[in-house]
Every structure is written in structure tokens, then in C-alpha cells.
Amino acid sequence: MLKLFRFLKPYRAWIAVVVVLMFLQSISQLYLPTLMADIVNVGVMEGNTGYILRIGGLMLLIAAVGTLCNVAAAYYSSRTAAGFGQIVRGNVFGHVERFSLQEFDKFGTASLITRTTNDITQVQQVLFMLLRMFLNAPLMIVGGIVMAVSKDAKLSLVLVAVIPLLAGVITLVASKGVPLFRAMQKKLDRLNLVLRENLIGIRVVRAFNRTERERERFGSANTDLTDTAIRVTRIMSVVFPVMLLLLNLSLVAIMWFGGIRIDNNHMQVGDLIAFTQYASQILFSLTMVSMMFIMIPRASASAVRINEVLDASPSIVDAPETREPESSGRGLVEFDDVTFGYPGAEQPAVRNISFTAQPGQVTAIIGGTGSGKSTLVNLLMRFYDVGGGSIRIDGKDIRGLSQERLRAMIGYVPQKAVLFSGTIADNIRFGSDSASREHVEHAAEVAQAAEFITELPEGTNSAVSQGGTNFSGGQKQRLSIARALARKPAVYVFDDSFSALDFKTDAKLRAALQRETAEATLLIVAQRVSTIMEADRIVVLDEGRVAGIGTHRELLASCDVYREIVTSQLSEEESA
Ligand SMILES: Nc1ncnc2c1ncn2[C@@H]1O[C@H](COP(=O)(O)OP(=O)(O)OP(=O)(O)O)[C@@H](O)[C@H]1O
């Protein structure tokens, strides 16, 4: 957890203020019982009303100052803790943004969400407690002991007997609690995972009448978390009563032995009153320390999880000697003997893939499901790095380009259209911030999105709801194509992006694209033969390997895998 406290740097001045305020508050708390003793010993015993009023007034003043310090310290502590939380959340988010998909696969989305929210809140809460008590509790314990001993050294032996007992309780509780706290955060991850899957997949859950089963799945994750929370609470609930019992027993012992000492004229009544107050302060502070000991392990479990994210270095980083290409290039894409396997997978997803996609031409990739088509796109986008071989753009290995520069050269249309909340224009401008209104409208027109956009009352200013749920699958695909067109890149990558379009729109879109992107390199991944029949070059994939490369006619003559795909989809007439 200490490692995370480096983010407290901007709040150093406030922390210093809190330390001073807590110091003043502790001093005032420690001074009050002594004044009380004076009132009893001098004022009450001698019947000196003036003295009582004078010292009483002083006590009120000191108590007021102490309270003010306490309130101000609480304010600055909570602002510091909240600011710390904000900084850590920002840093975790910024770091996660640099992750390659490999790290996302490793942590899992649900866990990343818990770590950025709940885990940081745990540390933030403990920081607040620490700021309030870190100085106060030890000062009250040590100062209280000094003051108590100064009032009556012999009576202090009662404290010598109680303090080890309290320490024993604290150690026991901490040793039982820590493993449970760790387990709790993991169970919270699981709960988030079930919740997230259920919310995202709500349509499927409903369609397959799985609501009841999902409720059970959530119920079991929820019960599991609750059970652990109850076990933790059970342990924690013992702490306070035990502490209070020890506190009260000590006070009884102090009264008992103190009474005897007063009888024997070894002690004054006022000093006994002050002594009991010091004993209460010491034991109360010890209780607070024990709470801290319980909360710190929980927060450190969270801190470990946060640090895991912050320490995970993105597996894809820009090479230090990255030199940006001098000219913008034409977008010649070359796959050279590329092999790649996903982390943890036994078999490579693609093996020894070599082909070239020329500028001004359409290169298509076709193959059965799971044959590695999207994997090739993931590698070209550098979402993952190749395991063997290389991918070059305009003769340069993409690992030698900065990721930003590489991706700026590519207009990528993913397999599953992803839209963001905002307007249609916002979504198209996601491809290029500087795109003018005409530019946006033109991109929408080429993507065959203009016809449905003009029917909307607000045109390109119409709202897109979260995840683009207010548009159909085909409309979403066309908007994500317009987004790619808006950036006018050298290379276009369409990862099965026409699948939700009807045949007529698909054909119209391809014709418009051909005019618009005549100079660019087009890489089209497709399942439908009709989409890619006219491509200049078709790469046929089969179980991660190239089964053939050529035009439609060449492949029909030479490639069995391609022929099988064609005959399964087209009539003889269509394929000819
Ligand atoms: N993130 C991942 N982690 C592990 N394995 C993966 C991952 N993504 C894909 N795979 C595996 O890699 C292989 C190729 O998958 P890929 O998505 O490239 O196929 P595809 O040809 O695009 O299929 P489809 O047409 O169904 O989208 C499959 O066996 C798949 O199970």
C-alpha cells in the first residue's frame, strides 16, 4: 500500500496541515484531565469557586480549540483521501488504456472494473482513517501513559496488565481476517462478471428464457460474497465488545485500587478522576488502532490488486528507436511468414502466412469460422504482436512504427460494430476530429448510411444511445464504415463488416467504396463469397494456414477449399 502512497505527492502540504491539527487536538485532549484534577483537588476541596470558574473556563476554551482542530483535520483528511482516489483512478485508467489485448485477456474486464472502483475506494477509506489516527492514536497512547504515570505510577500497573491482552486480541483478529478480505475482493470480481455478462447479454438471456437460471447464478455469486462478508463481520463484531469489556474491567480495577490508595492517603480524588480519563483515552486509542489493523490488511489486499494492474507492462510498446516514416506512403501491406498463437493456446491460430495487399487493389481473406481471419486483422492492427515472421507496411516492419502512426494509416471496421453515446456526427468524427460537416456527410453517403440518416428528424445530429442500441445491426455497420472512411486512410481493413447488410446494399456499398478508395489498399475479410468474388486477390485460409491465393477464377480451378466454400454458397450459375 505504501507504494501507492507515491500518488499523495500533490497533497503533501495538506497532510502537513492535518498532522499539525491532529497534534494540537491530541495535546488538548491530554491536557483536559489534568485541569479536571486541579479543579477537584484545589477548587472543590478548598471550596475555591473562583478557581473552579477560572479553570473551568480554560477547559472550555481548550475543548473548543481541540474540536476546531478536529473538524478542520477531518475536512483536510477527507479532501486528501478523495483527491488521492481520483489520482489513482486516473492513473489506473490511463495505464489500462495502454494495455494490449493480451493484458485485457489476462485480467478480465470485470476484474479491471472492480480494481478501478471498489479496490481504490478501500484504499481511499483507509487513507482517511490513517490520516486521522496515524498521529493521534500513538500520541494519545504514549501521552496518556506518561500522564497516567505522572498522576500515580503504582496504579499504572493495571494498564501494564491490560495492554498485552489487547495486543493479543488485535493480532488474533488480524490473522483471521486477512485471508478473508482477500477472498472477498475475488468474490466481488465474480459478482461483477456475472452482472456484466447478464446485462450485456440481456436479449439472449430473455430469448432463451434463462432469466431464472441467471438469477440463480447471480444469487450464488451474491451468497458466496455475503457468506464471506458475514464471516468477516462475525470476527469484527467480537472486537468491539471484547475491547469495551477490557476497558470497563480496567476502569473497575482502577477505581478499586485507586479507592484503596485514596484511603491510604497515597492519592488525591482529582488525580483518580484524571487517571480514569487517561486510562479511557489510552484504551480507546488502542481500540482504534485495532480497527486500523483490521482495515489495513483489507486495503493492502486491494492495494496489491491495484499495483498488479499498474505494474503490468503493456506487452506491445513502441520501439525506442521508432522513426516516423518520412512520406505518408501508399499503404502496401505485406505478411511475411507470419505465425501467431494466443497466450495459453496450445496451437498457433495462424501459421506461415505470406501474402501481399497492393494499393489500389482489393485483397480479400476468406475461410471457415475459426480459420484465423480476424487474427490476421488483429495482428495487422497490432492488437497482438506476431510470434514469428513479420508484417510490413510500405516496406517497414509495423513493430518499428509507433502504434499511433500505424493505426492512423488504417481505417478499421471491426467485425462487431461498436458505437459510442453521442450523435451520429460524433461517431463518424471518431475517425477524424477535424472532419468537416460535408466530409462527415460524404462519408455517410459512401457508406450507404445517408438514406436512413436523412429520414431521422435531426439527421447527423441524431442521438446514438449507449452501445448504439437505437440502430439496427446493418445501420451500425454502415456507421462504423463511415467512421473509417472519415479518416481517409491509406489502408482499409473490413473485418467481416458487410455481414449484416442485405445483398443489394452490400453491392451498392462495394461499388461506392471502389470509387472512393480507388488509390487505397483494401483488405476485406468475409464469409460471403459474393462479397469478395471480384477482389483482385483472394487469400483462402484453412485452419490457420493459407490454402490458396489467387483470383476467383484461378482459385476455382486450383483450390479445393475455395471450391467447397463456393459450392456451399452459390449456385453453379452464380459462381461462373
Ligand atoms: N482472444 C483469444 N484468445 C484465445 N484464442 C483465441 C482468441 N481469439 C481467437 N482465438 C482462437 O483463434 C482461432 C482463430 O480465430 P479467429 O477469430 O481469427 O477466426 P475467424 O476466422 O475470424 O473466425 P470467424 O469467421 O468465426 O470470426 C480460433 O480457434 C479461436 O478460438
Residue 323 binned pLDDT confidence (cut-offs 50, 70, 90): low
Is the ipTM, as predicted for this complex, more than 0.85? yes
Report the atom number in ligand 1 closest to the C-alpha of 369. Answer: 26
Helices (H), 39-156: 45-46, 49-97, 101-107, 109-114, 120-133, 136-151
pLDDT at 234 over 60: yes
Q: What is the mean pLDDT of residues 553-570?
A: 88
Q: Which of 428, 544, 421, 542 is nearest to 478 (CA)?
A: 428
Ligand 1 center to residue 352 CA distance, Å? 16
Residues 59 and 52: beta-carbon distance below 8 Å: no
State pLDDT tens for residues 31-56: 999 999 999 988 888 888 999 999 99
Pairwise CA distance, residues 448 & 478, whole Å: 7
With a pLDDT cut of 70, the percent of the chain lying above it is 97
Unique residue bearing C-alpha cell 490508595: 261
Model pLDDT, residue 465: 85
State pLDDT tens for residues 418-438: 888 889 999 998 878 888 888
Residue with the nearest Cα to atom 16 of ligand 1? 372
Ligand 1 center to residue 374 CA distance, Å? 7
Ligand 1 center to residue 203 CA distance, Å? 24
The pairing of beta strand 537-542 with beta strand 362-367? parallel
DSSP-derived 3-state class of residue 155: coil
pLDDT at 295 over 80: no
pLDDT at 521 over 90: yes
Residue with the nearest Cα to atom 30 of ligand 1? 370
Residue with the nearest Cα to atom 25 of ligand 1? 369
pLDDT at 328 over 80: no
Residue with the nearest Cα to atom 6 of ligand 1? 342
Model pLDDT, residue 169: 80
Residue to mutate (ligand 1; options 101, 342, 416, 499; most atoms within 8 A of CB): 342
Ligand 1 center to residue 370 CA distance, Å? 5
Ligand 1 center to residue 338 CA distance, Å? 16
Q: How many residues does the chain have?
A: 576
Report the atom number in ligand 1 closest to the C-alpha of 371. Answer: 21
Model pLDDT, residue 576: 60
Question: 316-325, 506-515, 555-564: which has the highest mean pLDDT?
Answer: 555-564
Residue to mutate (ligand 1; options 106, 375, 416, 497; most atoms within 8 A of CB): 375
Q: Is the CB of 350 under 6 A from ligand 1?
A: no
State pLDDT tens for residues 391-403: 999 988 999 888 8
Q: Is the CB of 374 under 6 A from ligand 1?
A: yes
Q: Is the CB of 373 under 6 A from ligand 1?
A: yes
Ligand 1 center to residue 372 CA distance, Å? 6
Domains defined along the chain, listed by start: 2-311 (1.20.1560.10), 333-575 (3.40.50.300)
Ligand 1 center to residue 496 CA distance, Å? 13
Pairwise CA distance, residues 142 & 131, whole Å: 18
Q: What is the mean pLDDT of residues 151-173?
A: 84
Q: Is the dihedral of CA 460, 465, 470, 475 positive or negative?
A: positive
Ligand 1 center to residue 545 CA distance, Å? 13
Residue with the nearest Cα to atom 5 of ligand 1? 342
Q: Is the CB of 497 under 6 A from ligand 1?
A: no
Q: Is the CB of 372 under 6 A from ligand 1?
A: yes
Q: For residue 49, how many C-alpha atoms fall within 13 Å in the half-sphere facing its CB?
A: 0
> In this predicted model, which residue has the larger pLDDT, 386 or 105?
386
Ligand 1 center to residue 355 CA distance, Å? 20
Mean pLDDT of the chain: 88
Q: Is the CB of 371 under 6 A from ligand 1?
A: yes
State pLDDT tens for residues 462-483: 888 877 788 888 899 899 999 9
Report the atom number in ligand 1 closest to the C-alpha of 342. Answer: 4
Q: What is the mean pLDDT of residues 182-200?
A: 84
State pLDDT tens for residues 102-123: 888 888 888 899 899 989 999 9
Model pLDDT, residue 283: 83
Report the atom number in ligand 1 closest to the C-alpha of 525. Answer: 22
Residues 290 and 243: beta-carbon distance below 8 Å: yes
Q: What is the mean pLDDT of residues 296-317?
A: 87
pLDDT at 324 over 60: no
Model pLDDT, residue 95: 94
Residue with the nearest Cα to atom 28 of ligand 1? 370
Ligand 1 center to residue 503 CA distance, Å? 26
What single string gives the DSSP state of each residue in 399-441?
Answer: GGS-HHHHHHTEEEE-SS----SEEHHHHHHTS-TT--HHHHH
Ligand 1 center to residue 349 CA distance, Å? 7
Ligand 1 center to residue 441 CA distance, Å? 35
Residue to mutate (ligand 1; options 101, 107, 371; most atoms within 8 A of CB): 371
Ligand 1 center to residue 423 CA distance, Å? 32
CB-neighbour burial class of residue 258 (10 A; exposed 0-12, middle 13-18, buried 19+): buried
Q: Is the CB of 343 under 6 A from ligand 1?
A: no
Q: Is the CB of 287 under 6 A from ligand 1?
A: no
Model pLDDT, residue 75: 94
Q: What is the mean pLDDT of residues 222-239?
A: 89
Q: What is the mean pLDDT of residues 255-259?
A: 93
Pairwise CA distance, residues 58 & 51, whole Å: 11
Model pLDDT, residue 246: 86
Residue 206 binned pLDDT confidence (cut-offs 50, 70, 90): confident
Report the atom number in ligand 1 closest to the C-alpha of 372. Answer: 18
Model pLDDT, residue 575: 59
With a pLDDT cut of 90, the percent of the chain lying above it is 45
Model pLDDT, residue 224: 94
pLDDT at 322 over 70: no
Ligand 1 center to residue 561 CA distance, Å? 19
State pLDDT tens for residues 444-456: 999 999 888 988 8
Q: Is the CB of 576 under 6 A from ligand 1?
A: no
Q: Is 501 left (phi over 0), alpha (psi -120 to 50) or beta?
A: beta
Pairwise CA distance, residues 415 & 155, whole Å: 79
